[in-house]
Amino acid sequence: MEDDDELPILTVVSSSARQLYLLLRCVNFSEKAHVQISDEGLKFSVDEASVMEGSAFLDKSLFTSYTYRSPPPQRSQHADSDEEDSEITTNPTFQISLPSLLETLQIFGLTDPNNSKPPWARDNLTSTAFSNNVLGMNNMCRISYSSFGAPLAVVLTEATIRTTCNLTTYEPAFADEIPFDRQSLAFKTIMRGTWLFDAISELGSTNPERLTLVARVARGKPYFALSASGPLGSARVEFNNNHNHNPVHSSRAAAPTAPSGTEPTDPPAPTNLLETFQLSTPDTPLRSSYKFALIQKAARAMSVATKVSIRADTQGVLSLQFMIEVESGKVSFVDFRFVPLVEDESETGEDGERMETILGDGEEGSGSGGGTEDEGEGEEM
């Protein structure tokens, strides 16, 4: 083919396959991932039954070199197809097997048995001050995509081993993202990723079916809660900005960490639990439910993220945006979107009222007083 002689569409070099691995692992919940190449970076998106999608964006600043040659429209005759120019000029999109890519990226991960030994005990005494691993140059990773339909080639180099992986590229299967309307946000809050992770893992212990997100302003103070319900009962984790820095686990009678660590003498401390709290309609509490199992798929991202921005639009679509620090100073973003479950009419009205109480609404400094279960809703198992 004539295109074979052309320069490749994409050539990127990363000094650390591990970084890429850590980010892509966050969205590893499906066999195939869509890859979209653009001037800004590589976007890997994964979709689950069109009710959830996750995407990891590898910004070009993550790479030591990033060369993207946008395929010019006039070369579109490639691959025997007479598609219109308009379609060809868009950025290349294709699918690859994400588990395969991840497995490839960690092919050298901690494999070197020499690492655990002191230098004099190693098999090959070739290590010098300029050895690749001393310089931190191992795990060099080069990704290239030469032309439409070509495989995505990943080349990893470590010392004298070179691994080449050609990932078959498939036609993209879905085109539409889950629509999320940034212009009409119903709710937005930002907190630390690990707090959300702790909350979800705690709630996950009951194996619930649905996760309900509740946000409202109670007596001028923000209130945010995640409650999970399933056949074994329900549990709720509440976050508020009152006095304590830790999420209050209402389902545990005495939240173990809440009262001891912090003195309630300085309530408006800058280390608020919720960094931002915006509710478009402060008068009416926001409630929307999602399938718990789907939210759980974002757990990996929660556990490594420094911050998470939780947003819901007026349609109830939930967006979780994770800020992940891959190395000091450099941040990357991993996004998830979830389509809400249709609310059960009967449940909504009454349950909304019940939500009022648990935290004790701030008369008590410690917040641990909220532990008393009044509705019999909090049994954990």
Instruction: Give the binding site for other proteins (CB under 8 A).
Output: 31-32, 96-97, 99-100, 103-104, 106-108, 111-114, 123-124, 151, 160-168
Nearer to other proteins, 117 or 330 (CB): 117
Dist. CA 48–CA 29, nearest whole Å: 8
Nearer to other proteins, 28 or 244 (CB): 28
Minimum Å gap between C-beta 136 and other proteins is 19
Minimum Å gap between C-beta 97 and other proteins is 4
Coil/strand/helix, residue 284 = coil
Q: Is residue 50 a contact partner of residue 108, using CB atoms and an 8 Å limit?
A: no
Burial of 32 per CB tally in 10 Å (0-12, 13-18, 19+): middle
Q: Tokens at residue 170, please?
A: 């498939």
Nearer to other proteins, 123 or 353 (CB): 123
Q: Maximum Cα–Cα distance for the chain, whole Å?
A: 75
Nearer to other proteins, 63 or 108 (CB): 108
Minimum Å gap between C-beta 93 and other proteins is 17
Nearer to other proteins, 100 or 194 (CB): 100
Minimum Å gap between C-beta 123 and other proteins is 5
Continuous H helices in the chain: 17-25, 85-88, 98-105, 193-204, 258-261, 292-296, 299-304, 345-354
Minimum Å gap between C-beta 69 and other proteins is 24
Nearer to other proteins, 95 or 189 (CB): 95
HEC secondary structure over 288-348: EEEEHHHHHCCHHHHHHCCEEEEEEECCCCEEEEEEEEEECCEEEEEEEEECCECCCHHHH
Minimum Å gap between C-beta 64 and other proteins is 22
Minimum Å gap between C-beta 100 and other proteins is 5
Q: Tokens at residue 178, please?
A: 């889950």
Q: Strands, E, within the chain: which ranges?
A: 10-14, 32-37, 41-48, 52-59, 65-68, 93-97, 140-145, 152-158, 161-167, 185-192, 210-218, 221-230, 233-240, 248-249, 276-279, 286-291, 307-313, 318-327, 330-338
Nearer to other proteins, 132 or 262 (CB): 132
Nearer to other proteins, 151 or 233 (CB): 151
User: What residues does 353 pair with on adjacent strands?
Assistant: none
Dist. CA 276–CA 244, nearest whole Å: 16
Minimum Å gap between C-beta 327 and other proteins is 25
Minimum Å gap between C-beta 170 and other proteins is 9
Q: Is residue 196 a contact partner of residue 204, using CB atoms and an 8 Å limit?
A: no
Nearer to other proteins, 99 or 282 (CB): 99
Q: CB atoms < 10 A from the CB of 248, how many?
A: 29
